[in-house]
Each structure stands twice: as C-alpha cells, then as structure tokens.
C-alpha cells in the first residue's frame, strides 16, 4: 500500500503541473472545450485515486472543484478570469495537502473552505438565477441524446491489476440505454489458459444524454490497460436530414473490420440471412454478428455520423534515484573500459584489442542510452513560469505576455532541477525592473503589453537559454554611479558599456530605489551567476537602453559524463571540456620571446591572448621546448591555454573533489584515467575571471 500511495503522490504532482498549464491556456481560449475536458479529467483522476489510497481530504476538496467544472463542460458556467483564479488557488491548496501528506505538517483548513465557498458562488441556482443579485439566465434546453458504439478490449493482465471489468460495464449501463455483447472467441482451451488472464472483450451500444466525456470517464482508470474505442454513431443534428438511411448488417461488420469485403460479396450470393451465412462459413463469430445486430437495431432509431478513439498512452515510471544509480554504474564501466583499452594497446594482442574495441563500442552505446533516459524536455520547466508572470504582473499593475520557444530542447534532469531558481530570479527581475507600466510604454511609443520571451536551443554539447524582454533596458550611467557608490569600481575606471552592464552580477549590487517584496535587497543576479557557474555554465548579458535586455545562459547537456581533451602539465594530467575547444597550435620559445611576455599569439591574423596553466598552478619544473596552446571559446571570446602536451580526447566521468578541496576555485572536478591516475577537470570560466 505504501508503494501505491507513493505512486499516487508522484502522479498527483504531475497532474497538478499539467492542470496549471491547462488552466492558463484555458484563460487565453475560454471556448476551448477540449481544454475544459482536460481540467475536469485531471480533477477526476486526483479525486478518484486519492479516495482509493486514503487521501480523503484531497478527494473531498477536489470533488467540489470537479463539480464546478462538470457544469462548465455542460455549458452552465462560463470560463471567466475569476473562475481560473479560483481554480489555480484550489490547485495550490491541493498541492499543499499533498506536501503535508509527505512532510506531516498541518494545513490551513479554513483556506480550503473559503475556496469552496467562492467556487459555489459561481454556480447558478436550480431556478436559473445566480446568487447575490446576479442576472438570471434562460433555462437550458434538455441535453441532446447521442448514440455511441464502445469496444472495450482489456489487456490480458487487467485482472492482475485489481480491476473488475464487470463494474465498468455496470457503470456504463447507468449512463442510459445500453446493450452489451461479450466476445468469447479468444478464450483458449483449458490447458493453455492462464487462470489470471482475461480473454473476453465487449461491444456496447449506448444511447445517453450525458455526453462523450461521461463515457470516457468510465474508463479513465484503465486507459493504459485496455484498447478502448468510442464511436459516435448518431446525434440529434442528424435527424434534420431529409432521408434517413437504414444501415445493413454486412456494412456494419465490414466497417468494424470483423469481415473482409470479398467475404461479404461471396456471402451475399446465398439466399440465407447474411448473419447466418457468415457464422456457418466461420467468416465471423456469432458474438460479432450479435454485436452488429444490436448496433443495427440502435441505428434504426438513430442516424450514424462519426467516430472518435480514446488515446492510448504507454509509459514506465522510474524513480530518479534509480536513474542516478544507473548513470553512476555506467560511469564506472567507462573507467573500466578505458583501463581495458589501455591494457590491450600495451600488450599488442590482436584478439584482446578486438575485444576491447567491442567493449568500447557497447559502452559508448550504453552511455548514450543511459544519458538520454535522464534527458527531459525543458518546455515543462518553461510552462511553470507562465503562472509566475501572470501573478506578478497582476500585482504590479503591468500587462506582460510570456512567450516560449524551443520547449522540445532536452537537458539533463539534474541540470533542469538546479536551473529553476536562477530562471525565477531573472524573470522576476524582468517583471519588476525591465517591463514598464502600460502608460509608460505608451508614452515611449511601445505597445501597452510588454513581452518576455523564453527560448532554448542546442549548441554543440551545450544548451543556450535566452531570456529576452522588450522593456526599458539597462542604463549604463545609473549602473556606473551605483557601482562607484558601493566601491565596486574606482570613479575613473575606463570600462566598456558591456563591462558596466555586467556589474549587476556583483554581490550586493542593486539599482532599486526602494525595497519591495520582489527586489531591492541586493540579492538575485549574483546568486544567478553563482548557480549557473556551479552547473559549469556561463551567463552573458546584452542590453540597450529603451529597447530591452537579453540574458543568455550557456549550460552543459549533462553533469555526469562529458567528452574532454586530456592534457599534461609537468607530471600532472588535466582535462579541458572538448565542446569549447576550437583548435590546438604549437608554441615555440621564439614565439614566446617575440611577444615580449605579452601572452598573445597571432593565429592567421587573429590576435588571441593566452594563459599559461603552468604559471596558474605554480608548476616549477622545466617546461618543454615545444609547448601546445589549446584555443577555446569562452564568454564569446577566443582564449588560449598553454600546456606541455596534448594527449587527446577522453570520455570523462566527472567525480566531485570533496570538501578538502572546496577552495580550488578553478577546478570543477576530477576523473580517473585508465591506469588509475587522477586527472583534474579545469573550469576555464573561473580562470578567465
């Protein structure tokens, strides 16, 4: 039972995230009944599963919200901003109840009562009036009767999951005039039968005024465990037709795929009834013919129109801890494979070399597959910020629209989890500082509604996330003045405009005139910078006064295994991230002397500065006569890193250094080479700072 409860909690969190997205889309498209159905089904699932696994408080509260959206589905209640606001608040309360079930904390029950009362005030009274003096509405006409054909074909293991299909069929009969036919032709002989297997499937013809959603809701908990087809045979609009066709038995069987056209043509040559012929010739089963006759009788009363199929979803839920453990094991396998390859190369045994190559190929495939399992689309994270912008802009009296692009871009789950807080800081700053109020924007010749664009795209082994706004931009003079006041730069400092703008990332820097709930305390952008650097990423800012600001985050695809360039300095080995390497060139002693210790190179007419890592790490033994320079791109500029020797590419399994080396600011981790030697992974961004 504990495992089932945990599964419910995980599913409920996912449903609540989906519910928030659906509600925000519904606010933009109030007439989208498909979105209304999504909201209702999410509530229905949370309520039903919650009651099943002992979460009575969640089930009871959600039931009230579900009732309101049931009336929205029927057209009794319109979708308004007030309804969306209340439902979002209800969604937050359900999440609090879920959190409390995990942490054991108490929840303010009066808040839930207030939400239910507010929702009930939106529900019209039975006589058509609306509470508290609202305008009355005309009484709704009786709902239309619709005839459906349902094929319910459970998977063989349905009974093992604890589901009784007979109860579902009984629930279907409660919706209206329903005729059910059982198909038994798939039942095997006794010795081949699994006693826990289910070999029967059913056809039902249902005439009801409850609507398609009510029919789907019957099967909502078995969608993954059965093939369910729901077809609309006839609705009221078809009775406006001047001529009502009478469907024939053979046509129905042919349409359902129970017989072929050729078999039907042959059977029609006989004088017997078509149903008898098909059964006698063993072309169709008696159950199929009975089901078709049942449908024919219903259609004689009503007219066939169109069909819809229930979507099938198949997935496996795996705890993230298991994925993390899998990636750790793959990392260890990569290290062992490197040892095997090195040993095979030294011994020169062709058979051993062939085995090592096969193991390397399999390990590479396993590594890529394991990493892809941990990759998630970043669009899920983007969607959570729409609510944030909506609520904050309402508090500040601003009109702001958030647009997203590249939501299908995939990123490691660990990176996504640690990325949310920095993005929250950036977006809150954009809402509070960047986007002006409507009257200010109109006075500046802009549209009254401001825009924040959130986008993502792949760039090699990195993902670029851009947050762009069309607000007032950064004023370099204001930033410079504030930086001088805080002692961050001297008054006579000669800085370019971009360098001045990047001062906002300094600790304690803020241009806010007053402290508010959102900003002004001097924390935020420096936290963002540190968080991105902890992810081995980089942050860049470009702003134009009066036009807007663009912040670009450059993040690695994964934090577990990277492709590195292995180099040697003195007796030590180091790894540089291969994704940022552009080329490697030689550095002779004469070149060093010609630059007069200026640490610059002329590479095909391009002046490139370089850093001697030997000096950076105080390695004092004699350098080789011919050194190598690894040219890398960092912060949008080309920079060289001088090493003694470039060894080559290396699959780098990243290991943490531990607390004893926490002050090694320009080392981001370590890896183990094939011979057991430890190589340090260099953080080139920290060195550049």
**Structure pTM?**
0.62
d(CA 28, CA 407): 19
Closest CA to 627 of 609, 601, 645, 603: 645
Interval 469-495: pLDDT, tens? 999 988 888 888 888 888 888 888 888
3-state DSSP assignment of residue 146 = strand
Q: 608: which strand partners?
A: 601
**Cα-trace Rg, the chain:** 34
Cα→Cα distances 653→340, 462, 496, 536, 684, Å: 16, 17, 39, 14, 18
Cα→Cα distances 533→99, 251, 415, 683, Å: 31, 67, 12, 9
Interval 274-323: pLDDT, tens? 666 777 777 777 777 777 777 776 665 554 333 333 333 456 777 778 88
The predicted pLDDT at position 265 comes to: 61
d(CA 135, CA 129): 7
Interval 31-82: pLDDT, tens? 888 888 888 888 888 888 888 778 888 888 988 888 888 888 888 888 888 8
The predicted pLDDT at position 309 comes to: 32
Residue 161 has pLDDT above 50, yes or no: yes
């Amino acid at each position: 039972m504990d495992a089932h409860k945990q599964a419910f909690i995980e599913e409920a969190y996912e449903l609540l995230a989906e519910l928030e997205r659906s509600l925000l889309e519904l606010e933009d498209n109030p007439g989208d009944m498909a979105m209304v159905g999504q909201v209702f089904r999410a509530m229905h699932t949370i309520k039903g599963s919650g009651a099943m696994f002992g979460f009575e408080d969640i089930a009871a509260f959600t039931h009230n919200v579900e009732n309101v959206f049931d009336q929205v589905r029927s057209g009794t209640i319109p979708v308004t901003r007030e309804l969306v606001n209340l439902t979002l608040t209800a969604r937050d309360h359900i999440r609090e109840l879920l959190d409390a079930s995990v942490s054991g904390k108490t929840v303010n029950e009066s808040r839930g009562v207030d939400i239910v009362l507010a929702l009930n005030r939106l529900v019209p009274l039975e006589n058509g009036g609306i509470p508290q003096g609202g305008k009355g509405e005309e009484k709704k006409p009786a709902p239309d009767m619709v005839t459906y054909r349902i094929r319910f074909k459970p998977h063989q293991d349905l009974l093992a999951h604890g589901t009784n299909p007979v109860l579902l069929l009984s629930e279907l009969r409660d919706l209206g005039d329903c005729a059910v036919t059982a198909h038994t032709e798939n039942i095997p002989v006794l010795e081949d039968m699994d006693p826990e297997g289910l070999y029967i499937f059913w056809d039902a013809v249902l005439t009801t005024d409850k609507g398609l959603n009510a029919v789907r809701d019957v099967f909502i908990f078995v969608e993954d465990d059965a093939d369910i087809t729901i077809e609309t045979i006839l609705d009221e609009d078809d009775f406006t037709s001047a001529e009502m066709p009478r469907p024939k038995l053979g046509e129905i069987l042919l349409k359902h795929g129970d017989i072929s056209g050729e078999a039907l043509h042959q059977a029609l040559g006989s004088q017997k009834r078509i149903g008898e012929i098909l059964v006698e010739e063993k072309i169709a089963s008696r159950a199929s013919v009975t089901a078709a006759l049942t449908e024919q009788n219903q259609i004689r009363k009503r007219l066939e129109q169109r069909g819809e199929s229930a979507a099938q979803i198949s997935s496996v839920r795996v705890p993230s801890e298991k994925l993390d453990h899998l990636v750790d094991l793959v990392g260890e396998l990569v290290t062992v494979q490197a040892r095997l390859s090195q040993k095979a190369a030294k011994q020169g045994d062709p058979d051993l070399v062939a085995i090592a190559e096969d193991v390397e190929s399999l390990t590479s495939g396993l590594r890529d597959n394991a990493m892809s399992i941990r990759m998630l689309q970043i669009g899920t994270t983007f969607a959570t910020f729409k609510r944030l912008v909506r609520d904050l802009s309402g508090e500040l009296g601003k009109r702001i629209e958030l647009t997203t692009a590249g939501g299908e871009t995939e990123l490691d789950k660990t990176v996504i989890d640690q990325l949310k807080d920095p993005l929250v800081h950036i977006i809150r700053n954009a809402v509070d500082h960047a986007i002006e109020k409507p009257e200010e924007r109109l006075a500046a010749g802009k549209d009254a509604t401001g825009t924040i664009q959130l986008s993502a795209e792949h760039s090699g082994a990195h993902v670029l996330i851009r947050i762009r706004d069309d607000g007032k931009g950064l004023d370099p003079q204001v930033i410079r003045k504030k930086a001088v006041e805080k002692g961050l730069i001297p008054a006579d400092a000669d800085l370019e405009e971009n360098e001045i703008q990047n001062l906002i990332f300094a600790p304690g820097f803020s241009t806010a005139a007053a402290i508010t709930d959102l900003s002004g305390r001097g924390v935020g952008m420096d936290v963002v910078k540190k968080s991105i650097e902890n992810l081995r990423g980089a942050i860049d800012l470009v702003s134009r006064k009066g036009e807007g600001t663009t912040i670009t985050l450059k993040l690695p695809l994964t934090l577990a295994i990277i492709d590195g360039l292995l180099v040697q300095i003195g007796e030590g080995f180091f790894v540089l991230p291969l994704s940022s390497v552009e080329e490697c060139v030689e550095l002779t002693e004469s070149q060093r002397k010609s630059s007069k210790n200026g640490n610059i190179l002329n590479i095909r007419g391009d002046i490139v500065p370089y850093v001697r890592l030997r000096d950076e790490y105080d390695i004092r033994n004699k350098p080789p006569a011919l050194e190598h320079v690894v040219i890398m791109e960092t912060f949008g500029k080309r920079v060289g890193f001088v090493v003694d020797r470039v060894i080559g590419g290396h699959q780098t399994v990243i290991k943490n250094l531990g607390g004893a080396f926490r002050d090694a600011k320009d080392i981001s981790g370590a890896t183990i080479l094939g011979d057991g030697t430890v190589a340090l992974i260099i953080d080139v961004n920290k060195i550049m700072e």
